Amino acid sequence: MTTNTAAWISTKRANLDVKPAPYTPPKDNEIVVKNRAIAINPLDWILQSAGELVFSWIKYPFILGSDLAGEVVEVGKNVTRFQPGQRVLAHAVGSDPKRNSAAEGAFQTYTVVLEHMASPIPDHMPYESAAVLPLGLSTAACSLFEKDQLALQHPSVTPKRTRKTLLVWGGSTSVGSNAIQLAVAAGYEVITTASPHNFDYVRKLGASQVFDYKSKTVITDIINAFNGKTTAGALAIGAGSMEACLDIIHACKGNKFISMATFPVSFQKMKKDSNLRLQFFRQLPKLIAFVISMLLKSRLRGIRTKAVFGSSLIANEVSKIVYVDFLPQALAAGKFLAAPAPYVIGKGLEHVQAGLDMQRSGVSASKIIIAL
Ligand SMILES: NC(=O)c1ccc[n+]([C@@H]2O[C@H](COP(=O)([O-])OP(=O)(O)OC[C@H]3O[C@@H](n4cnc5c(N)ncnc54)[C@H](OP(=O)(O)O)[C@@H]3O)[C@@H](O)[C@H]2O)c1
C-alpha cells in the first residue's frame, strides 16, 4: 500500500502540520503525481489566514497548495496523454469550489490532478523550475483567453501578430510574468510595469516597454506610450492597479476591458491570531469606496471590468488551450520560460509553513519553492 504524507491545515487559521494522509487513486480523467517540487502562492497564506471568509466552502482538516511538479504514478482509465514515470507540472485545484478536495491539494507527497490541468515537461527542466508556473499561468490564461474576460487570440509557438497592445500592470508578479509571455505568444505587444530592478527581467519575458509603477508620472507615461497604438485591454495586478488601469484604458483607443486579478482588500496586514471579522470590517469602508468609485468610473467611461478566478479554466476550453495545446510544445521549444525564478527554501513538507510566511512578507520576481 502506498503511504502518503501532507502538510495539513487542521482547522481555520492553524499553522500547517505534517502528518500521514490517505493515498487517493485517480478517477477516470485524473492522474496521481508524486510531487518533487511545490511552489507557494499568495492564495495559500490568504486561505490560511482568512479561508473562512474567502473560500467558505473549505472543510477542515484540508490540504492547501496549487503548484506542483513531479512524476506521474497512476493514471485514470480515460487518460491517454500520460503514463506512469512521466515528468509533469500541474495546477492542483483542490480548493476550487467545484472540486473541494484535500486529495487535490499540492502540499502532500501524492496529489490527484485533473488530466487537462497537467503538462509534460522537458527532460532538461528541473522540477524546481517547472513548479513555478501553474497558478500564475492559469490565472493569466483565464484573464487573457476566457470569452468573458479579455478574449484574446490564442497562444502558439508560431504567433500570428495582431498589431494590438496589452497593458499588464504588475509584470514582475507571477501572474504578470505568465501574462506577458502568453500575450506575446498570442501575437500581442505588451506594455507593463515593474520596479526598476526588474525592468530587464520583464523585457526578457517579451514586454516591449516597462514603467515604474511607483513613479508619480506613470499613468501619463503609459498613456503616452499607447499613443498611436490600439489596446487589447488591460490585466490589473497588484494594489492600486485597477485605479491606474481605469485611467489608462479610458485614454486609449481599442478594447475597453480590464481583467482584475487582485482583490481590493489587503490580506497581508491581517493577523492570523486576532479577530478576523473585525479586521475585515475595518477595511470595509475602503472596500465600499473602491467598489463605488470603480463602478462609477467604469460605467461613465464605457469600460467593462471583471474579476478573474485562477481555477475557472478547469470548466472551460482555456485549460486545453494552455495545458494541452500550447505549454508542452512551448516548453520543449524553449519558447516559454519558467518564470519567476525559483527560490528553493528547503527540502520536505515541514518547510511549507516557512514558505507561506516568507511569501506573505513579500517577494520580488521570485517564487518560493519547496523540494520534496
Ligand atoms: N484572482 C485570482 O484567481 C488570483 C490568482 C493568483 C494571484 N492573484 C493575485 O494576483 C496578485 C499577484 O499574485 P502573484 O502570485 O503573481 O504575486 P507575487 O509574485 O507574489 O508578486 C510579487 C511582485 O509583486 C509586485 N508588486 C508589489 N506591489 C505591487 C503593486 N502595487 N503593483 C504592481 N506590482 C506590485 C512586485 O514587483 P517589483 O518587485 O517589481 O516591485 C513583486 O515582484 C496578488 O494580489 C494575488 O493575490 C489572484
Residues 49 and 195 grouped into a single domain: no
Q: Are residues 225 and 209 in contact, defined by beta-carbon separation less than 8 angstroms? A: yes
DSSP letters spanning 180-239: HHHHHHTT-EEEEE--GGGHHHHHHTT-SEEE-TTSTTHHHHHHHHTTT-EEEEEEE-ST
Q: State the pLDDT at residue 285.
A: 85
Ligand 1 atom nearest the C-alpha of 241 is: 32
* Spatial contact of 47 and 58, defined as CB atoms under 8 Å apart: yes
* CB of 37 closer than 8 Å to CB of 127: yes
Sequence-separated (6 or more) residues with CB below 8 Å from residue 23:
1, 2, 3, 4, 32, 110
Per-position b or e across 311-348, b if 16+ CB within 10 A of its CB: bbbbeeebbebbbbbbbbebbbeebbbbbbebbbbeee
Is residue 271's pLDDT more than 70?
no
Q: Do residues 194 and 281 share a domain?
A: yes
CA of residue 29 to ligand 1 center, whole Å:
32
Residue of the CA atom closest to atom 24 of ligand 1: 173
From ligand 1's centre to the CA of 146, what distance in Å?
Answer: 20
Q: What is the CATH number of the domain that holds 101?
A: 3.90.180.10
pLDDT score of 274 more than 70? no
Task: Output 282 or 242, whichever has higher pLDDT.
Answer: 242
Among 66, 67, 173, name the best residue to mutate to test ligand 1's pocket (greatest count of ligand atoms within 8 A of Cβ).
173
Helix or strand or coil: residue 41?
A: coil
pLDDT for residue 248 is more than 70: yes
312 part of a folded domain: no
Confidence category of residue 9, pLDDT binned at 50, 70, 90: very high
Lowest mean pLDDT among 204-213, 261-270, 272-281: 272-281
Q: What is the mean pLDDT of residues 174-184?
A: 98
Q: Within this chain, do residues 290 and 149 fall inside the same structural domain, yes or no?
A: yes
We report the CATH number of the domain holding residue 271 as 3.40.50.720
**Same domain assignment for residues 129 and 25:** yes
CA-proximal residue: ligand 1, atom 9 (nearest): 262
DSSP 3-state assignment of 337? coil
Does residue 364 lie within any of the structural domains?
Answer: yes
Q: Which atom of ligand 1 is nearest to the CA of 176?
A: 16
pLDDT at 54: 87
d(CA 278, CA 364): 30
Is residue 332 a part of any domain in this protein?
Answer: no
Mean pLDDT calculated for residue range 31-42? 98
For ligand 1, atom 48, name the residue with the nearest CA: 261
Q: Is residue 149 part of a domain?
A: yes
Q: How many domains does the chain have?
A: 2
Q: Which atom of ligand 1 is nearest to the CA of 174?
A: 16
281 falls in which pLDDT band (50, 70, 90)?
confident
For residue 278, pLDDT over 80 is answered with no
Q: How far is the CA of 166 from the centre of ligand 1 (A)?
A: 18
Could you tell me if residue 315 is inside a domain? no
Kind of pairing, strands 164-169 and 230-236?
Answer: parallel
Percentage of residues in the chain having pLDDT higher than 90: 89
The closest residue, in CA terms, to atom 5 on ligand 1 is 310
Same domain as 261, residue 354: no
- Which is nearest to 297 in space by CA: 236, 213, 345, 218? 236
Instruction: Specify the pLDDT at position 154.
Output: 98
- Please tell me whether residues 344 and 366 are part of one structural domain: yes
Asked if residue 224 is part of any domain, the answer here is yes
- For the chain, the average pLDDT equals 96
Position 321 in a domain: no
Same domain, 199 and 67: no
Residues flanking ligand 1, CB < 6 Å: 41-43, 135-136, 139, 170, 172-175, 193-195, 198, 213, 237-241, 261-262, 308-310, 363-365
Q: How far is the CA of 42 from the centre of ligand 1 (A)?
A: 8
Rounded mean pLDDT, 271-284: 73
Q: Are residues 102 and 175 in the same domain?
A: no
Together in a domain, 172 and 197: yes
| Whether residue 10 is found in the same domain as residue 104 | yes
Q: Which of 201, 296, 307 is nearest to 250 (CA)?
A: 296
Q: Is the pLDDT of residue 273 over 70?
A: no
Structural domain harbouring 252: 137-307
> Both 290 and 146 in a single domain?
yes
Does residue 153 share a domain with residue 109? no
| pLDDT exceeds cutoff 80 at 268 | no
Query: In this structure, is residue 289 part of a structural domain?
Result: yes
**Probe residue for ligand 1, chosen from 202, 219, 237, 366 as the CB with the greatest number of ligand atoms within 8 Å:** 237
Which residue among 54, 137, 167, 175 has the greatest number of ligand 1 atoms within 8 angstroms of its CB, and so is best to mutate? 175
